[in-house]
Structure 1
Amino acid sequence: MKVNYLLALIIVVLLVGFNVYIYRQSETGHIIRNRILQLYERDSVKTSGYKIEREIRSYELENNGKRLSPLLEVFDTDGNKRLLSQIIGSDKLILRYSELNCNTCVNKQLDILNSYVDSIGIDNIVLLTNYDNHIYMKQFKKVAGIKFSIFNVGTELNELIPDIERPYFFIIETNMRINNMYVPQIDEKKVTESYIHRIKKYYFVD
């Protein structure tokens, strides 16, 4: 009787031990698998980020030197049509954005521009944007306290300097040529300030 009891006890202990071992192995497997997935996702995000940045830098290079027609159309905050040549009488620093861009992204660039209003000149900064209605554009200008001229781009101009889901800067020179295009990162304020500073020294300092 005692032998049977001891044998049963040994079997129970072995089964419990085996189940504990299997459970721990399973938990370890889950931990390792989750870690691998995390590493894969992190690397995928990095790879995706690198690809996006490469596309952005390629976009900058492709557009530098592009010449725009002076007959391209823009629309002011009252909905009146203007020709591009009417607002580009001299070199202008352009901020290109869309109402669909993230508000934080746009506001950060506007804050930087506001700090250069006096040194660059309020008449030398122009915002080119996309709004479904010029009334929305007018409201945004008022609410955001924008001091610069702001225009909705016409269809043809929109194709030449499209919304790329981020605000970006460039110069339209007197000869209607695009130069010094720069697409800032939202968390690279110092880099953007350095870009604006160089633009100021090259184009807007006598």
Structure 2
Amino acid sequence: MKNNTIKYLVLTTITIILFALYYTYKIKNDGYQDAIIFEKKINEKDNTIKDRETFYQNIILATKRNENLKLAENLRLINIDGDTLLAKDVSFKNKIVLRYSILNCSDCVDEEFNILEKNKSLFSDNLIIMTYHENLRSFIMDWKKLQKMGINNVNLYLLVDNNIGIPLEKENIPYYFYLGNDLSMTNFFIPLREYPHLSNNYLKHTFQNFFN
């Protein structure tokens, strides 16, 4: 009888210890998971703040020395048919422009093409692309790429010289701007491949502001 009592007490004690260890682990584990979730939320908030900071820093950089400069009327371009034109002879007024060069980061340019594809319902003939290629063949290949992506309502122009005469050209990066009725350039934006949603936001808000 005495032995049974001792066994019972030992088993009871072991059971209590096991339950205590289990609940201690569970509390710690739940607390750890809560800490992970909390840290994730903090990081997401920090990333959102950083995105906004990056967005506004890009706007400041792009607009500081370029805002309200005018596109040169005698800027030479070649259309997809191979005709050489002057900017003053082309219907460039009241357009959103994507400017890029074959010398820019190719992945960055491809990312902007993908963004244009996602937003192609926004524009009809109010978006143009000014680009630079070292030969017509490469220029036409980009045009065909856009056609395959269903972006067939955008006019593509090849710059004879890889420069449109503004300070931002020195950065050797793709960028957007709005071209007004007097050929003044405003609303500059420098896209970042790491933050494609910023380009999406720029296009949506710019089209809403100027064309709706």
Distance 1:108 1:58 in 2: 21
Q: Which stretch shows the higher mean deviation, 179-188 or 84-93? A: 84-93
2:197 corresponds to 1:195: no
Q: Which stretch shows the higher mean deviation, 90-99 or 62-71? A: 62-71
From 68, 72, 76, the counterpart of 2:71: 68
Q: Any idea what the Cα deviations from partners look like across 1:90-127, whole Å, max 9, x if unmatched? A: 31111110112222211111121222222222x11111
Distance 1:60 1:134 in 2: 31
Q: Any idea what the Cα deviations from partners look like across 1:110-156, whole Å, max 9, x if unmatched? A: 121222222222x1111111111122101221134352211112338
Which residue is 1:155 aligned to?
161
Q: Cα distance 1:201–1:54, how it changes in 2: closer, same or farther (>3 A)?
A: closer
2:81 corresponds to 1:97: no
Distance 1:115 1:87 in 2: 27
Distance 1:178 1:76 in 2: 21
Q: Tell me the amino acid that sits aligned with residue 69 of structure 1.
A: A
Contact 2:132-2:162 at 8 Å conserved across structures? no
Distance 2:162 2:104 in 1: 20
Count of residue pairs brought into register by the alignment: 153
From 105, 108, 111, the counterpart of 2:111: 108
SS in 2 for 1:85: helix
- Please show how residues 18-97 of structure 1 align to structure 2 within 5 Å: 57-97=60-100
SS in 1 for 2:88: helix
Which residue is 2:181 aligned to?
174
Q: How far is the alpha carbon of 1:62 from its aligned partner?
A: 0.9
Distance 1:106 1:174 in 2: 27
What fraction of aligned residue pairs are identical, expressed as a percent? Answer: 21
Q: Tell me the amino acid that sits aligned with residue 153 of structure 1.
A: L
Query: Structure 2 unaligned runs (5+)?
Result: 1-55
Q: Any idea what the Cα deviations from partners look like across 1:8-47, whole Å, max 9, x if unmatched? A: xxxxxxxxxxxxxxxxxxxxxxxxxxxxxxxxxxxxxxxx
Q: Any idea what the Cα deviations from partners look like across 1:45-77, whole Å, max 9, x if unmatched? A: xxxxxxxx9698434321111012323221113
Distance 1:152 1:64 in 2: 23
Contact 2:132-2:158 at 8 Å conserved across structures? yes
Which residue is 2:29 aligned to?
none
Which residue is 1:124 aligned to?
126
Calculate the aligned-residue CA RMSD, in Å: 2.5
Q: Cα distance 1:89–1:144, how it changes in 2: closer, same or farther (>3 A)?
A: closer
Distance 2:171 2:83 in 1: 25
2:192 corresponds to 1:185: yes
